[in-house]
Amino acid sequence: MPTGKVLQPVLKMKVDELFLCWLSETNTQVMLKDCLKRIKNTERIEIGSGDAGENEPFLTTKIANSKQNILDNLMAPLVTSSSPSHASTALPLGTSTSSRSGPHVRGTRRSTGTRVVQTKKEEPLPSAVSQSIPTFYFPRGCPKEKVNIDAVITKIEKTFSQFPNERATLEDMGKVAKACGCPLYWKGPLFYGAGGERTGYVSVHKFIAMWRKILQNCHDDAAKFIHLLMNPGCNYLVQEDFIPFLQDVVNTHPGLSFLKEASEFHSRYITTVIQRIFYTVNRSWSGRITCTELRKSSFLQNVALLEEEADINQLTEYFSYEHFYVIYCKFWELDTDHDLFIDPKDLARHNDHAISSRMIERIFSGAVTRGRKVQKEGKISYADFVWFLISEEDKKTPTSIEYWFRCMDLDGDGALSMYELEYFYEEQCQKLDNMAIEPLPFEDCLCQMLDLVKPQCEGKITLHDLKKCKLANVFFDTFFNIEKYLDHEQKDQISVIRDAESEGQELSDWEKYAAEEYDILVAEEAAGDQWNDGVRWERN
């Protein structure tokens, strides 16, 4: 997914929501009925008077007195904090020289307050206190025991001595990676980090200079990995930075050897893996993976497992080819013109139109997509579809909860109001009516969802509420996925709670879905091959 942007609240929708809240107040309705009654009786209505009537002079006097009390309260600190001479001259100037006393009072308060603040200076803290505070922020990793850099360099020099002219090609970098104490598949980043893409090889002197600098400045694997792949002047990774590393994985991993003859799928597989990396690691949705985000994720552990695991399908978090196959086949079914872009009508066909049209509209609104095609032509790319499918099939992960929350938060105020929930539930009711199923009234559905989520603040559901709730998938499916909503309704409450509590003890919802769909796709392909073989036999 391309670099994200900060969502801006839709002010008109928020104003409409506040107006409806005000209109539903009992006092508001009583006031409006009273005004309507007076209009019918041809009585004069004073704007802002409400039901004051003949009490208007009293209200005017009360407001004036309140205003004077406010002014007195504002001026009180000036009288007490200033010298007597300043108080006796400044206060009358603000009240008697002009009838518009407000601005003069505020101006006097600013100037006097400024003088008071200037006379009250903070004493500097003793230097001994600041020196006693140990360093606690290490953006490039916390330095551990002192590394013997010279010993590491000696080992690297010995490894380079095995190569012709002490120059290592990309094929040789596996030995160099081991000499550096890195996992095998760091060989690509090490090669490109030392400038090997320009000449096709890396000299021993250039590599040692690069690695010595990294050892001196980067103190953990996350900092080293980012330093190797990042562009000069950056301290983060963008999507394009992963392409050389992943291309090397495609070219050399034994579990992907069959892709050597299908080079047209290299870019599709790499795109899928990159999107899965950012989906899981880039928790800030910024499109930039920082050292902190990489350190908190399991990505580098999975990179290390590439060396140990010959079956790449066992690495289900990022690199699984089976998962890529499922995602790409699902996209290919929707992308009828095969231009690697789909429009709302294409996406609506996913899973037999299970997702509501209002949610499809929100997906294309830019709330969770950032491509220019979305804004100009109303289309999303294959990269965006990866995010959609994983979020749709596993609504329990933090990223998927954020994904659907962004879609349902129509006005962008950071909370789901009852009006927004009703907006999405209306279409669900229409679909149920078309299926001859009596829908649950919205008020009853709302009570169920509030009991399910248990929001901290009455009248709105926040992202924190949904992340804390273990049944976020049930909540989301209720409002925009009719098929899964009916599946949840057919289950008893005990089994739903049991499924939520068993989280972490078995495969995730996405892993279950990908495994089932892969078996179906393989069976369909085998059946198609048998049919084609039968046709050829009959022709012969």
DSSP string, 242-309: GHHHHHHHHHH-GGGGGGGG-GGGHHHHHHHHHHHHHHHH-TT-SS-EEHHHHHHSSHHHHHHHHHH-
Q: Which one has a higher pLDDT value, 203 or 146?
A: 203
For 516, half-sphere exposure in the C-beta direction (CA atoms, 13 angstrom radius) is 8
Give, in order, the Cα–Cα distances in Å from 493 to each of 226, 358, 500: 46, 28, 11
In sequence order, the β-bridge partners of residue 341 are 381
- Hey, is 186 helix, strand or coil? helix
DSSP code for 168: E
Q: Is 98 a residue whose pLDDT tops 50? A: no
Which 3 state secondary structure label does DSSP give 341?
strand
Element at 236 (helix H, strand E): strand 236-237
Fold for domain 321-515? Recoverin; domain 1 (1.10.238)
Q: Do domains 149-314 and 321-515 have the same CATH topology?
A: yes
Mean pLDDT lowest among 106-115, 147-156, 524-533 = 106-115
Q: Can you give the pLDDT at residue 506?
A: 81
- Tokens, residue 51: 């039901």
Is the model's pLDDT at 101 over the cut of 50? no
Residue 515, CB-side half-sphere exposure with 13 Å CA sphere: 10
Q: pTM value? A: 0.74
Q: Which two tokens stand for residue 47?
A: 């704007």
- 398-450 confidence digits (pLDDT tens): 999 999 999 999 999 999 999 999 999 999 999 999 999 999 999 999 999 99
How far is it, in rounded angstroms, from Cα 489 to Cα 243? 44
Could you read off the pLDDT of 498-536 as tens digits, one per residue? Answer: 666 655 558 999 999 999 999 999 999 888 766 565 545
Domain boundaries, the chain: 149-314, 321-515
Percent of the chain clearing pLDDT 90 (strictly above): 61
More confident residue, 369 or 461: 461
Q: What is the secondary structure of 511-525 as a DSSP string?
A: HHHHHHHHHHHHHHH
If DSSP states are collapsed to H, E and C, what string results for 135-151? CCCCCCCCCCCCCCHHH
More confident site: 40 or 306: 306
Lowest mean pLDDT among 79-88, 111-120, 174-183: 79-88
Weakest-pLDDT range from 144-158, 307-321, 426-440:
144-158
Work out the average pLDDT over 263-277: 96
Question: Over pLDDT 70: what percentage of the chain?
Answer: 74
Report the chain's mean pLDDT, rounded to a whole number.
83
Reply yes or no on whether the pLDDT at 494 is more than 80: no
pLDDT band at 46 (very low <50, low <70, confident <90, very high): low
> What is the average pLDDT across 49-74?
46
Q: Which residues contact 197 (CB under 8 A, 6 or more apart)?
A: 191, 244
Average pLDDT of 326-347?
A: 96
**DSSP secondary structure code for residue 123 in this structure:** P
Report which of residues 246 and 41 the model is more confident about.
246
The number of helix segments (H) and strand segments (E) in the chain equals 29, 8
Handedness of CA 291, 293, 294, 296 (dihedral sign): positive
Say if CB 360 and CB 348 are below 8 A apart: yes
Q: Report the 3 state secondary structure along 360-386.
A: HHHHCCCCCCCCHHHHHHCCEEHHHHH
Q: What is the dihedral of CA 143, 145, 150, 154, to 10 degrees?
A: -110
Pairing of strands 202-203, 415-417: unpaired
What is the distance between the alpha carbons of residues 365 and 376, in angstroms, rounded to a whole number?
11
Residue bearing the bigger pLDDT, 22 or 228: 228
**Digit-coded pLDDT (tens) for 167-216:** 999 999 999 999 999 999 999 999 999 999 999 999 999 999 999 999 98
Q: Give the architecture (CATH level 2) of 149-314.
A: Orthogonal Bundle (1.10)
**pLDDT category of residue 460 using cuts at 50, 70 and 90:** very high
Distances (CA, A) of 62 to 50, 67, 71, 100: 15, 9, 14, 19
